[in-house]
A and B are shown apart, each in its own frame.
Chain A
């Protein structure tokens, strides 16, 4: 806590809301100009503003898992370019490397711009987005089989992309030469640059209007406010140490221990498996992002979120483990491990914080990459998308159906009509998945079933789904949900169920059936009101047989 403010609180409030407006504007600018569908449609991106030292000054805009990366990237840039005069006005930096502040995987490229006022860095504007192809051993750069970071694409180790306002052409040429989709790369890069520049313009207007000192004070106080919000919410939670061990689809056991105290929350992840031989590794910063998101969700999610919100959080990690991998560990499927981590923290807390959290959701990104020739345009197409799934039930309410995972936010699915025009596929159906599971007094929300019919030979599929064997968890006697998986239905009548694959060949008229899980139920199914069961039968969400078996309800 600082001393009493020197500037009136309303002025500070106005500057603070202008920070949010600037992050929103940066987001809109990037969304409208990006080339890759995963950026503009799926919105696999985030924008944010940090203070001069790289602490997040606002909640930014976009996926929180991504906004939480930006401060870490800026801090690493500051560390690497620490020499006096090394960072100059007009510079723009780029990083995508988990060991250089990139946090996630090489596909996620961060662009950061230092905002100078009176010769000093007063803030940074930054964004992160998933670029379609950054090189490496597989189209789309993501592979479940990569063993080293070097196989996953070009590493951009927190270097300058622009110097004094001018692009550093050789760097851009190297980036283009390493990508299978250089036109997309250039389009996405300019979209990102335009976005950080529009943010800079807005911040400089604020500095000019209110003065540098007031601007800096407003950011500092905003973060103090964020910290107070978290501390106040922590004080309302039950104190104590809570532990959970959970088996994963591949048989490994993940462990988490959480300690809630008045002055902070500690998440201990040290007792976990060694880092992965393949690409499911999470960086130390990645583990922090997952922990920060869950902290925010249990401590006043409605209120402001910034770097201060996370000050009361401590994350304990063991170097060389899955949640703090050492170089040159591969990271391209990091997100599936990170969402697992997010989910075990959620599950551990849900059992001890009654009323705060729902039962488990499908809890997978269900990352799906499909590509091949487009029979109408002759151009190569690539889909890189997460999938929708079912969310868990909570006291008083059934779970939500068909929504992206808790690791997403303002993420949109691709309409079938656009997908068919853009990609070499037919979408035969997009429906609610009616498989049994998730029953309870309040039932889990439903996942989806989507059939992609491939239109040409020589297409490929890469995917990495979890919660395919170990199912979404119920609460208070609610049933487990149902699994996430893909079914390959070949023209020869064979049918193969998979969860993880890289570069599987699929040919004309083969169907890739995406099936995502129903969320966990809440409470004993016997307590579900009969009327609700009858409604579900009428709507076809449950068969009469299953209703009889689980709920003991006989239709009239």
Chain B
């Protein structure tokens, strides 16, 4: 019986559906002794029936689903529906005079020399964008009553045109959602079968284009995600699952299936978010609250800054945005991360003027890097790592794939010819350019926001994290790198560490005066009350819920705000210290402070509740010498540091307390860790690998 205190063991699993693989992490904790056993597994992702992959990986991991107490689940089903444009046919109803906002967007052209720029196509064509009269002011006061006399006609047209989901977004609904609520209720009454998504249910922030697009994309993915979650629940039920199932959100927390089914768009970045959350949690456990988290996968690298054990969550999130495209905004709470097209499969290429580039094009899973021997003839980062001896050609992909070194050499030779250098120099160039791309991304989340990377620990994971982390850390002046024990399935691991978490962003503009802050505090209490009501409906008691509050503050007339942590209780009674804290935070980020009036534009409130997350236990140190884990020695090319004979360690044999120094390479099934000359390594009590760089350690 799950969660039965008399049962000898507590069983927790996390399943993470990624673009290529579906991962499993399984933890079994003995209630008597506290001893834990961990298992991990990986299977291919099974689109479009993603739930089959989940059941497959549970089977491969030997999990008896009926015994599982707690399951956390993350999925790419939402982002897939968006990027592949496989969602529902959506109709939009908005305020009179504003149906074209979705098409007008913000009018920007990031690719500014390109006079043939193509604007992203709206997800709803104009004939399915309809209007109703009625206006609120920015203060939330009714200026013109809502008029629904055209609604029957609009819905009849939508039905005739095959609309499957209706999105609703009215002007200033962030300030007062009454009109949106009335319109949504009227649609539900007239057309109960259709999905209706209304903007205030997702966000209470201003900017009508962003909010409208959010409602539209949420409606677009709603039917797909809802069906998926339904099939997943059914599939697990058929396997006799009766534990608690939680779904990973994009904000680094989990949520109930019921809440997720209401607003599935909150899953949009669930995989990347859980990796970053995992890094924050691991840092806290290790007493390392300031972390630069780096996740290197097959096609991209993602990084985030964690300060004081907290990931930063923002609602300024866009999909498909780049130097070439404006992208689409989704105003949902998402872990603030920077993603670049630079992973193990990124293709190296030479432009018409002899300059070397790496990514953002990726060889993907098919044909994959040249070394896969599946016809890939372009050199990738992985191929360069093989050629330089950093990845073991005889233990490629954990020994499951025979590296096609002939193809690797041929691909690199082509590159070398274009660069007029030899093969080795070409491979070194690929690694250096790839590393530099990642350095720039890491600087974006640290230096660019006023943080010195030397004050941070790097936690690196994903298949490629360990390969590059030590070099990147050296470059940035980071003194300690941690490669987690479950690095290759770390996103799944992170899910198991998650609390139930909901983020609320609310726009409410006030002067930072006692009266203004009292007004803001009242808004905050209202948000918290309604959050508690929602939790109570899901049988989560008020005393389980913890609130963390931030005010979004700025100097009057500015636009961008700084998140200022608020004290518990009535923060408006400590208004002066809140304003002081703002000046201090502002100065740290931007180097100066002003003698100018301060205002608050709203609140960010985080509600968390513990729902039985995992508490990993320390492993005993058996006092074994690291020599016991040595497999071999081989020459490894460290690019600018030259070629060195590196000691090769079997990662599976590393035990707590072991120490050794670089040059070394640690080989595990899912990942390879490269340790540079002069760096030292320690294995901690959870079998995480610590790489210490320079004197500081």
Indicate if the CB atoms of B114 and A302 lie closer than 8 Å.
Answer: yes
Is B232 among interface residues, defined by CB-CB distance under 8 A? Answer: no
If A297-B113, A448-B104 are given as contacts, then 14 extra A-B residue pairs at C-beta distance below 8 Å, sorted by A number, are: A25-B443, A228-B353, A293-B113, A302-B114, A403-B107, A403-B119, A410-B109, A416-B98, A416-B101, A417-B138, A426-B143, A430-B104, A432-B104, A539-B127
Is B528 among interface residues, defined by CB-CB distance under 8 A? Answer: no
Is B433 among interface residues, defined by CB-CB distance under 8 A? Answer: yes
Whole-angstrom CA separation of A14 from B443 in the bound complex = 14
Indicate if the CB atoms of B356 and A10 lie closer than 8 Å.
Answer: yes
Is B682 among interface residues, defined by CB-CB distance under 8 A? Answer: no
Indicate if the CB atoms of A10 and B429 lie closer than 8 Å.
Answer: yes
Whole-angstrom CA separation of A202 from B444 in the bound complex = 12
Whole-angstrom CA separation of A359 from B590 in the bound complex = 43
Indicate if the CB atoms of A418 and B207 lie closer than 8 Å.
Answer: yes
Q: What's the nearest-Cβ distance from chain A to residue B411, in Å?
A: 18
Is B106 among interface residues, defined by CB-CB distance under 8 A? Answer: yes
A301-B114 CB under 8 A given contacts A401-B104, A415-B207: yes
Interface residues of A in 168-200 (CB under 8 A from B): 183-184, 186-187, 190-191, 193-194, 197-198
A429-B98 CB under 8 A given contacts A10-B429, A28-B448, A225-B355: yes
Q: What's the nearest-Cβ distance from chain B to residue A33, in Å?
A: 5
One of A35-43, A313-321, A478-486 at the interface: A35-43
Indicate if the CB atoms of A541 and B107 lie closer than 8 Å.
Answer: no
Q: List 21 A-B contacts (CB under 8 A).
A: A9-B354, A10-B433, A13-B355, A17-B440, A29-B448, A34-B559, A40-B560, A64-B113, A229-B353, A232-B352, A302-B114, A402-B105, A420-B138, A429-B96, A430-B97, A430-B98, A430-B100, A430-B104, A431-B97, A432-B104, A448-B104
Is A340 among interface residues, defined by CB-CB distance under 8 A? Answer: no
Partner of A431, one of B100, B118, B138, B558: B100
Whole-angstrom CA separation of A541 from B112 in the bound complex = 27
Is B126 among interface residues, defined by CB-CB distance under 8 A? Answer: yes
A408-B558 CB under 8 A given contacts A194-B592, A417-B171, A540-B126: no
Indicate if the CB atoms of B97 and A421 lie closer than 8 Å.
Answer: no
Partner of A409, one of B109, B436, B560, B596: B109
Interface size on A, residues (CB 8 A): 81
* Cβ–Cβ < 8 Å partners of B118 in chain A: 397, 400
Indicate if the CB atoms of A190 and B594 lie closer than 8 Å.
Answer: yes
Indicate if the CB atoms of B559 and A41 lie closer than 8 Å.
Answer: yes
Partner of B109, one of A228, A346, A404: A404
* Cβ–Cβ < 8 Å partners of A428 in chain B: 97
Whole-angstrom CA separation of A194 from B450 in the bound complex = 12
Q: What's the nearest-Cβ distance from chain A to residue B344, in Å?
A: 20
Interface residues of A in 19-60 (CB under 8 A from B): 21, 25, 28-29, 31-37, 40-41, 43
Q: Which residues of B contact A (CB under 8 A)?
A: 96-101, 103-119, 125-127, 137-139, 143, 171-172, 174, 206-210, 351-356, 419, 428-429, 432-433, 436-437, 440, 443-444, 447-448, 509, 555, 557-560, 590-592, 594, 596
Indicate if the CB atoms of B106 and A413 lie closer than 8 Å.
Answer: yes
A417-B172 CB under 8 A given contacts A63-B112, A197-B591: yes
Indicate if the CB atoms of A409 and B110 lie closer than 8 Å.
Answer: yes
Partner of B137, one of A401, A420, A432: A420
Is A278 among interface residues, defined by CB-CB distance under 8 A? Answer: no
Indicate if the CB atoms of A416 and B590 lie closer than 8 Å.
Answer: no
Interface residues of A in 340-365 (CB under 8 A from B): 346, 357-358
Indicate if the CB atoms of B98 and A37 lie closer than 8 Å.
Answer: no
Q: What's the nearest-Cβ distance from chain A to residue B183, in Å?
A: 18
Indicate if the CB atoms of B559 and A37 lie closer than 8 Å.
Answer: yes
The 9 lowest CB-CB distance pairs between A and B, nearest first, are A409-B112, A429-B97, A301-B113, A539-B126, A421-B138, A32-B560, A402-B104, A388-B107, A40-B559
Whole-angstrom CA separation of A539 from B124 in the bound complex = 11
Indicate if the CB atoms of B557 and A408 lie closer than 8 Å.
Answer: no
* Cβ–Cβ < 8 Å partners of A303 in chain B: 351
Indicate if the CB atoms of B171 and A401 lie closer than 8 Å.
Answer: no
Whole-angstrom CA separation of A429 from B96 in the bound complex = 7
Indicate if the CB atoms of A64 and B112 lie closer than 8 Å.
Answer: yes
Is A462 among interface residues, defined by CB-CB distance under 8 A? Answer: no
A357-B115 CB under 8 A given contacts A40-B560, A190-B594: yes
Indicate if the CB atoms of B107 and A402 lie closer than 8 Å.
Answer: yes
Whole-angstrom CA separation of A420 from B171 in the bound complex = 11
A411-B115 CB under 8 A given contacts A418-B207, A428-B97: no
Q: In the complex, which residue of chain A has the Cβ closest to the Cβ of B355?
A: A13
A35-B557 CB under 8 A given contacts A409-B109, A413-B106: yes
Whole-angstrom CA separation of A121 from B116 in the bound complex = 39
* Cβ–Cβ < 8 Å partners of B115 in chain A: 297, 301, 346, 357-358, 406
Indicate if the CB atoms of A408 and B112 lie closer than 8 Å.
Answer: yes
Whole-angstrom CA separation of A183 from B595 in the bound complex = 9
A413-B104 CB under 8 A given contacts A14-B436, A539-B127: yes
Whole-angstrom CA separation of A202 from B450 in the bound complex = 12
* Cβ–Cβ < 8 Å partners of A397 in chain B: 116, 118
Indicate if the CB atoms of A13 and B448 lie closer than 8 Å.
Answer: no
* Cβ–Cβ < 8 Å partners of B105 in chain A: 402
Indicate if the CB atoms of B113 and A186 lie closer than 8 Å.
Answer: no
Whole-angstrom CA separation of A21 from B436 in the bound complex = 11
Indicate if the CB atoms of A432 and B100 lie closer than 8 Å.
Answer: yes
Q: What's the nearest-Cβ distance from chain B to residue A446, in Å?
A: 9
Partner of B558, one of A33, A394, A539: A33
Q: What's the nearest-Cβ distance from chain A to residue B92, in Å?
A: 13
* Cβ–Cβ < 8 Å partners of A40 in chain B: 558-560
Q: In the complex, which residue of chain B has the Cβ closest to the Cβ of A39?
A: B559
* Cβ–Cβ < 8 Å partners of B355 in chain A: 9, 13, 225
Indicate if the CB atoms of A404 and B208 lie closer than 8 Å.
Answer: no
Indicate if the CB atoms of A541 and B104 lie closer than 8 Å.
Answer: no
Interface residues of A in 404-463 (CB under 8 A from B): 404, 406, 408-413, 415-418, 420-421, 426, 428-432, 448, 451
Partner of A541, one of B126, B139, B560: B126
* Cβ–Cβ < 8 Å partners of B99 in chain A: 431
Q: What's the nearest-Cβ distance from chain A to residue B674, in Å?
A: 19
Indicate if the CB atoms of A17 and B107 lie closer than 8 Å.
Answer: no
Is A548 among interface residues, defined by CB-CB distance under 8 A? Answer: no
Is A305 among interface residues, defined by CB-CB distance under 8 A? Answer: yes
* Cβ–Cβ < 8 Å partners of A448 in chain B: 100, 104
* Cβ–Cβ < 8 Å partners of A296 in chain B: 113
Whole-angstrom CA separation of A376 from B137 in the bound complex = 11
* Cβ–Cβ < 8 Å partners of B101 in chain A: 416, 430
Q: What's the nearest-Cβ distance from chain B to residue A454, in Å?
A: 15
Whole-angstrom CA separation of A118 from B399 in the bound complex = 53
* Cβ–Cβ < 8 Å partners of A400 in chain B: 117-119
Whole-angstrom CA separation of A190 from B586 in the bound complex = 13
A431-B116 CB under 8 A given contacts A228-B353, A409-B110, A420-B137: no
* Cβ–Cβ < 8 Å partners of B447 in chain A: 25, 202
* Cβ–Cβ < 8 Å partners of A546 in chain B: none
A32-B590 CB under 8 A given contacts A539-B126, A541-B126: yes
Q: In the complex, which residue of chain A has the Cβ closest to the Cβ of B357?
A: A13
Indicate if the CB atoms of A186 and B448 lie closer than 8 Å.
Answer: no
* Cβ–Cβ < 8 Å partners of A426 in chain B: 143
Indicate if the CB atoms of A451 and B112 lie closer than 8 Å.
Answer: no
Partner of A410, one of B110, B210, B443: B110
Whole-angstrom CA separation of A184 from B428 in the bound complex = 50
Q: What's the nearest-Cβ distance from chain A to residue B231, in Å?
A: 36
